[in-house]
Structure 1
Amino acid sequence: MAKPLQQYKDDFDTKVLKVDRDSIHFDDHGRLSISDPDTEKALRMATEIIKKPGGVVGFPTETVYGLGGSSLSTESVKAIYAAKHRPADNPLISHISSIDQLKRRLLIPGQKIPAVYEGLIEKFWPGPLTIIMPIEDENKSPISPCVRANQPTFTVRMPVHPIARALIAMSDLPLAAPSANASTRPSPTLASHVYHDLKGRIPLILDGGACDVGLESTVIDGTVDPPMLLRPGGIPVEMIRKVGGPFWQKIVIAKKTAGKNEPVKTPGMKYKHYSPTAEVVLFLDCGDGVHSIKKYIKDHHLEAEKIGLLRSEYFADSSKMSGLISLERDLGQTGLDIQKNMFAELREVDELGVDYIFVEGVHEDHEGLAIMNRLTKAASVVVKNDEVTVRGPQ
């Protein structure tokens, strides 16, 4: 039996290894090839770690960087929770490299993928879509109960990122992998974000550059009728309705935050999330922002505070705000750009030492639904039409 890695201590010498995503290829039959020797060596090193009980590594996916350990090993799953300081009743998503691996490693003999997912899987896998699957027999299920927080369901997706998919395929282990950040912090979209949060807590981070999508996967539940959107993410709900067939036309959007004692099927529905150290103030329907920002600063006596501004579509630049803004960043003009840049900019501005981060909100459709899901969870104050709501990060 493999000797467990050290865990539950902040004493790892965390290594960061560069990997070349372009050197990794899967053919039409799912066979893996790697042309760069250094990339293959780094992936084999990561594979050896996650094969041991308690072994976890940081790695890139197309959504955000993940902190992965075997979904079949309770010791590994506990190591994930410990490294992140994550509440144990917040379930994890299992990541697979192929449908074949899902059937062999996560399902019990004879279990089938529910037919309602077939069209969506064909269109969006591999990709940023997570589905809810039933646990048909808890006594026979190979999945650690800690992955699913003792719920009668589990969540699964197939990432499209070649580094993530190669790591999962080489180990032949489905990986439980939440975002590779300290719990409550903004999700990481660069290896440097992972290192900042988890240095000393994990042995290895695979550096594959910036993530393409920039926020977490969409989570849907087809085990209930009507089906539910549990977490908006990289696949907009409009695409789910368009591709999924009649059953998915009636999809219901779940509330953003579950109650304190309410069990949840998926991450992102409970506890404080996505929050930098600085206080986040979210502005909605405030025109170019000039009047609303000046009024908020004056009413709350923030003239001497260091304030960062994250703009998107309508807000004016800080030159129109009488020197009240210390620094500003543009999140982008499109939903795709904003979701890709949002977490990185929250982190960067925060690390520059601001006291407050003012963020311009967006319309809650298409990519905007997922963007606003994250921003409202990060914000402790919401200003809408100059009305202030103090809510505390969720």
Structure 2
Amino acid sequence: MIKRFISKMSNVLETKILKVDPASIHFPEDAHLNGSLPTITDPISEKNLLEAAKIIRGNLEPVAFPTETVYGLGGSSLSDEAVKSIYRAKNRPSDNPLITHVSSIDQLNRKIYQEKHSSLFQNIPNSYHPLISKLWPGPLTILLPVPLKTSALSKLTTADQPTFAVRIPSNPIARALIALSDTPIAAPSANASTRPSPTMASHVYHDLKGRIPLILDGGPCKVGVESTVVDGLSKPPLLLRPGGFTYEQIVELGGQDWKDCRVERRKVVAEGEQVRTPGMKYKHYAPSAKVILLVPKPQRTDSDRIEELKRLISQELQNEDANTIKKLAILTSLHLGATEIQDLTVGDSKIKPIVVKLGNTGEEIQANLFAALRQVDEIDNVNLIFVEGISEDREGLAIMNRLRKAAGDHCVSF
């Protein structure tokens, strides 16, 4: 049964934002393996981290914190009540599984498998070893089998499935929070369900003010899209969600087991079907404004694209909802130049859109994407957003995955 854990109005919380300096946190080189604790040179950062860790250990409310990908909303993976509080704060369907974040492989073994390990990697299949040896800590999530007898994981974390998703984040604030609480943390993105993911503390506050007690502010996230999720339990292995590491990196670094890795490309899943990773079901990443994704055709010139953009704007202004379009924004990437579209003549009308440049490389575009969507939607209050897409290789696979979900059916070639 799908459940939504709805917050009661009487449960409005005071949401504090506490600063943490990531540069003050220092882990030993092998801490992601053996669980060594960090040293923290800034007393205020340490105090704020310990306050957040205490909330995590209390198993009642989640806290928001930065990762290298996006801000996460975290609670104990071992507690039904903590996981319910995450679903409740986000108003997230309970059949949408959560990724568990650990600070070390030692913590994975002790806390989830509840074993004293004879071999550090005994609970991680061999197929993953080449990847995690190079990409952990980092934005890589793997699927592992839920242990049949000894697992301490809440079934609400896994949506009652036989596998669970886990990663070790590289952001020092995230790692320190998990290590200091000594608690595996279930953490989806710290946004209201269906909204664009948050890459700054202010985004979290906009969506979740009054729903959570605490946000750790560690500045903007560097990667800007969620982690890459892979399934090395299947043959051939499968990339379930593109993200912070590219498909090309997975194939290159994964060794022989990953040379035939497939990509999950279904746009929708069947009603009632269980999904193994977040992002495969339900609406995601969508602003309040209508989003139209411009999918570039390789053979077109940039001048052709500008003319097509004008035609699309004219079409939108003439449709039955035209009177609702007061302001529009255009997010550009590699082809549309800001000067050419700053002033557009569409029919007899002069159009002055809000123009935001996403970047000149795949890394820049993915880092800026969610912040730009939120800027034009929540601060500029536009009604219509055109986003220029890019080719679906390397970072483009994750970028276009997010943009297709944000746009829904509104994808056009240009």
Cα distance in 1 for partners of 2:169, 2:316 equals 45
Give TM-score scaled by structure 1 length. Answer: 0.93
Q: CA separation of 1:365/1:51 partners in 2, compared to 1, >3 Å: closer, same or farther?
A: same
Say if 2:141 is the partner of 1:130.
yes
Tell me whether 25-34 or 330-339 shows the greater mean CA deviation: 25-34
Shift of 1:325: 4.0
Contact 2:230 2:237 survives alignment (8 Å): yes
1:17 aligned residue: 18
Shift of 1:378: 0.2
2:158 aligned residue: 148
Which of 387, 398, 401 matches 1:373? 401
Cα distance in 1 for partners of 2:271, 2:221 equals 32
Amino acid at match of 1:230: L
Cα distance in 2 for partners of 1:257, 1:67 equals 25
Aligned to 2:412, what secondary structure does the other structure show?
A: strand
Contact 2:99 2:166 survives alignment (8 Å): yes
Cα distance in 1 for partners of 2:368, 2:166 equals 25
1:186 aligned residue: 196
Counterparts of 1:71-110 in structure 2, within 5 Å, are: 71-109=77-115
Query: Percent identity over the alignment?
Result: 54
Shift of 1:29: 3.9
Which of 258, 266, 277 matches 2:269? 258
2:41 aligned residue: 35
Contact 2:144 2:233 survives alignment (8 Å): yes
Contact 1:131 1:156 survives alignment (8 Å): yes
Contact 2:225 2:244 survives alignment (8 Å): yes
Amino acid at match of 1:316: G
1:4 aligned residue: none
Amino acid at match of 2:336: F
2:178 aligned residue: 168
CA displacement, residues 146-176 of structure 1 (integer Å, 9 cap, x when unaligned): 0000010000000000000000000000100
Say if 2:250 is the partner of 1:240.
yes
Cα distance in 2 for partners of 1:132, 1:67 equals 20
Aligned to 2:292, what secondary structure does the other structure show?
A: strand
1:330 aligned residue: 357
Amino acid at match of 2:95: D
Cα distance in 1 for partners of 2:215, 2:278 equals 22
Say if 2:311 is the partner of 1:295.
yes
1:218 aligned residue: 228
Amino acid at match of 2:189: S
CA displacement, residues 74-94 of structure 1 (integer Å, 9 cap, x when unaligned): 100000000000000000000
Cα distance in 2 for partners of 1:21, 1:212 equals 12
Which of 104, 109, 128 matches 1:117? 128
Aligned to 2:158, what secondary structure does the other structure show?
A: coil
Amino acid at match of 1:97: S
Root-mean-square deviation (CA), in Å? 1.5
* TM superposition outliers: structure 1 runs of 4+ over 6 Å: none
Say if 2:82 is the partner of 1:55.
no
Shift of 1:315: 1.0
Which of 296, 303, 309 matches 2:330? 309
CA displacement, residues 299-332 of structure 1 (integer Å, 9 cap, x when unaligned): 2325763110000000132235224242110000
Aligned to 2:39, what secondary structure does the other structure show?
A: strand
Cα distance in 2 for partners of 1:193, 1:13 equals 16
Cα distance in 2 for partners of 1:236, 1:142 equals 32
Give the gaps of 5 or more residues in structure 2. Answer: 1-6
Cα distance in 2 for partners of 1:199, 1:252 equals 40
Contact 2:342 2:355 survives alignment (8 Å): no
Contact 1:189 1:343 survives alignment (8 Å): yes
2:413 aligned residue: 384
Say if 2:377 is the partner of 1:359.
no
Cα distance in 1 for partners of 2:268, 2:154 equals 25
Contact 2:358 2:369 survives alignment (8 Å): yes
Aligned residue pair count: 378
Contact 1:290 1:320 survives alignment (8 Å): no
Cα distance in 2 for partners of 1:152, 1:319 equals 52
Aligned to 1:119, what secondary structure does the other structure show?
A: helix
CA displacement, residues 316-353 of structure 1 (integer Å, 9 cap, x when unaligned): 32235224242110000100000000000000000111
Amino acid at match of 1:295: R
Aligned to 1:51, what secondary structure does the other structure show?
A: helix
Shift of 1:135: 1.3
Cα distance in 2 for partners of 1:29, 1:301 equals 58
Tell me whether 278-287 or 15-24 shows the greater mean CA deviation: 278-287
Contact 2:146 2:164 survives alignment (8 Å): yes
**Which structure's residues are more often helix, by fraction?**
2
Cα distance in 1 for partners of 2:278, 2:342 equals 40
Shift of 1:103: 1.0
2:342 aligned residue: 319
